[in-house]
Amino acid sequence: MRLLFCSHNNELEGAPKQLMQIANMLKNHGKHECVVLAPKKGPLKESGLAQVTIRSLYKNPTSKMARNILKKLKPDLILINTILGYKLIQEFNAVPDHPPIVWLIHESERTFYFDKYKDLTPQIFATPTKVVFPCKTTQKIYEDLDTGNFQSIYNGIDAMSFATLSSGSDKHALRVKHNLPTDALIVTSVGSFCFRKSQIELIDAGIEFLTKVNNPEVHFLLVGKMAPAFAPHIDSALKRADELKLKERFHIRPETTEIKEIYALSDIAICNSYIEAFPLVTLEAMASGLPVVAVDVGGIGELVINDITGFLCPSNNAKI
């Protein structure tokens, strides 16, 4: 089969990473022909998959564009990633005899998207062959829109690749490579820097912890893509740490393709987002053998079993 994967971006984020993993798995193990469409190039362009750049893919798709894609690529199945693909779904649906469409929805903040995009209507959810959610909790948020085409399929990763690198790595050497203290306990948070991921609250919680506990050798590592508009908020949080002579305990690093090494050099993984679905970063941390501390939001409670595979905190307190 020829499978067409439509992604809203090619960044090192959960939704596009999950889509690429699905495509690679189907290519390598299912022997399907997989083609990825995205509005622009990004770090995931090196995934080894055939990729086509169409700048207006998600923002301004047209019926002509949809017809041309189907005519040229002749897919047997279309997979459209994230709720932002609703316009693309409408245009493909308008083409007679279009192939089956699977819509992959990761977003748990339904109200936000319906308020922001006025042309995102409930009727659109009835048109794909399948609407797939990464966990049951996220599906439940949209359950009143289900016309019998909804299904939950948990996000997944190549767990063995994380476990193998973690178990076979020299933690000391990795910390030296990444310029991190070799003798400290490192608490790591991975995710794009934004309000939803609550990195500011994590820094504040870290400051509170460090001031209450008698000189612990604990450091906090925050890794992710930094939006320019968010940087001043992180700077303000770090200034509070600096005033208490604790700034050196916090390490801010950009997103990286060496994420497996980041987990391998860490001691604890933390996810204190206030909105999530079924985060890949938590799956990756668990596969790397790390204990996970997470806020009980979205599908995290389906992933982390409290006091067994990790520790869950109340969802009304992202300050862990």
Does 44 reside within a domain?
yes
Domain of 214, in residue numbers: 159-313
Contact 301, 279 (CB under 8 A): no
Give the global pTM. Answer: 0.92
Does 143 reside within a domain?
yes
Domains in the chain, number: 2
Per residue in 128-170, pLDDT tens? 999 999 999 999 999 999 999 999 999 999 899 898 888 888 9
Contact 274, 297 (CB under 8 A): yes
Does 229 reside within a domain?
yes
Domain boundary among 152, 167, 197: 152
Inter-CA distances, 136 with 21, 90, 113, 207, Å: 21, 25, 19, 35
Strand partners, 293: 270, 311
Per residue in 81-132, pLDDT tens? 999 999 999 999 999 999 999 999 999 999 999 999 999 999 999 999 999 9
